[in-house]
């Protein structure tokens, strides 16, 4: 029995649970507009980051190293933010202060945000490919592999690459992740809305890192 037929049979038998991620329940990443001086609100960015990292945790135990790394980088930002929430109300100000006079660019909050951004870029591209897949194929591994190759592979050494090759085989199916196709229309719409803000934040951070020469190309 083909994979799509197996899923259909499972749905008919009532054996398929609701979507692992309910995107309508996730807080959108902050708007970047004149109300925020065209900067990213640190508090709102952290809240949304926690939620999307928790959502990615539902992929399964094998993804726990990636989830743990993302959580650690969010915590770096959060700890720095809590030292002066007024001064660091916007991510850009927090990062510029962190970079001042720091002789070790590989052990800073800035570096933590850089790696978090890369992981988020992979997940944003993965979800976008899933959303744009008109075949609605249950198999999502190709989407995750392509997103990884574009966003993280250039910065990963041999061991990290091998680790990904193993875990990407265990990405949930489309139905498991988003819900049965006959009932997930609202979840797909919510995902589309979520990605607009997610992508805008990542694009803004990329421009910011480029403007201030904060990108690093060493391999993990």
pLDDT digits (tens, 9 = 90+) for 192-206: 999 999 999 999 999
User: 166 lies in which domain range?
Assistant: 37-212
Does the residue 5 lie in any domain? Answer: no
Identify which has the larger pLDDT, 208 or 63: 208
At 51-69, the pLDDT tens digits run 999 999 998 887 888 899 9
For the chain, give the mean pLDDT: 87
Question: Rounded CA gap, 177 and 58, in Å?
Answer: 9
Q: At what angle do helices 64-83 and 109-132 cross, to 10 degrees?
A: 130
- List the CATH number of the domain containing 141: 1.10.3520.10
Contact 127, 191 (CB under 8 A): yes
Does the residue 19 lie in any domain? Answer: no
Contacts of 174 (CB under 8 A, 6+ apart): 130, 136, 137, 138, 139, 140, 181
Does the residue 108 lie in any domain? Answer: yes
Contact 179, 17 (CB under 8 A): no
Does the residue 80 lie in any domain? Answer: yes
At 97-138, the pLDDT tens digits run 886 766 665 558 999 999 999 999 999 999 999 999 999 999
Residue 8, pLDDT > 60, answer: no
Does the residue 219 lie in any domain? Answer: no
- 111-131 in b/e form (b: 16+ CB < 10 A) is bbbbbbbbbbbbbbbbbbebe
Does the residue 32 lie in any domain? Answer: no
**Smallest Cα–Cα separation from 195: which of 134, 117, 136, 124?**
124
3-state helix, strand, coil in the chain (%, to 5): 70, 0, 30
Tally of structural domains, the chain: 1
Does the residue 4 lie in any domain? Answer: no
φ, ψ for residue 207 (rounded to 5)? -65, -40
The 10 Å Cβ neighbour count of residue 42 is 22
**Smallest Cα–Cα separation from 197: which of 74, 40, 55?**
40
Confidence of residue 157 (pLDDT cuts 50, 70, 90): confident
Question: Rounded CA gap, 172 and 205, in Å?
Answer: 29
Does the residue 189 lie in any domain? Answer: yes
């Amino acid at each position: 029995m083909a994979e799509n037929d197996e899923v259909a049979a499972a749905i008919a038998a009532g054996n398929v649970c609701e979507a692992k991620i309910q995107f309508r329940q996730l807080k959108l990443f902050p708007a970047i507009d004149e109300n925020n001086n065209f900067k990213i609100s640190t508090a709102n960015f952290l809240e949304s980051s926690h939620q999307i990292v928790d959502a990615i945790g539902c992929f399964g135990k094998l993804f726990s190293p990636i989830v743990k790394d993302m959580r650690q980088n969010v915590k770096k930002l959060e700890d720095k933010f809590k030292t002066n929430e007024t001064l660091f109300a916007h991510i850009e100000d927090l990062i510029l202060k962190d970079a001042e006079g720091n002789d070790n660019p590989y052990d800073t909050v800035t570096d933590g945000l850089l790696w978090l951004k890369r992981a988020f870029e992979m997940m944003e591209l993965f979800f976008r490919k899933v959303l744009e897949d008109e075949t609605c194929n249950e198999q999502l591994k190709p989407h995750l592999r392509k997103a990884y190759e574009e966003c993280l592979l250039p910065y990963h050494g041999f061991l990290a690459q091998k680790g990904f090759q193993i875990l990407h085989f265990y990405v949930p199916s489309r139905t498991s992740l988003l819900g049965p196709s006959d009932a997930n229309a609202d979840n797909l719409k919510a995902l589309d809305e979520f990605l607009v803000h997610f992508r805008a934040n990542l694009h803004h951070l990329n421009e910011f890192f480029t403007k201030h020469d904060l990108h690093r190309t060493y391999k993990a």
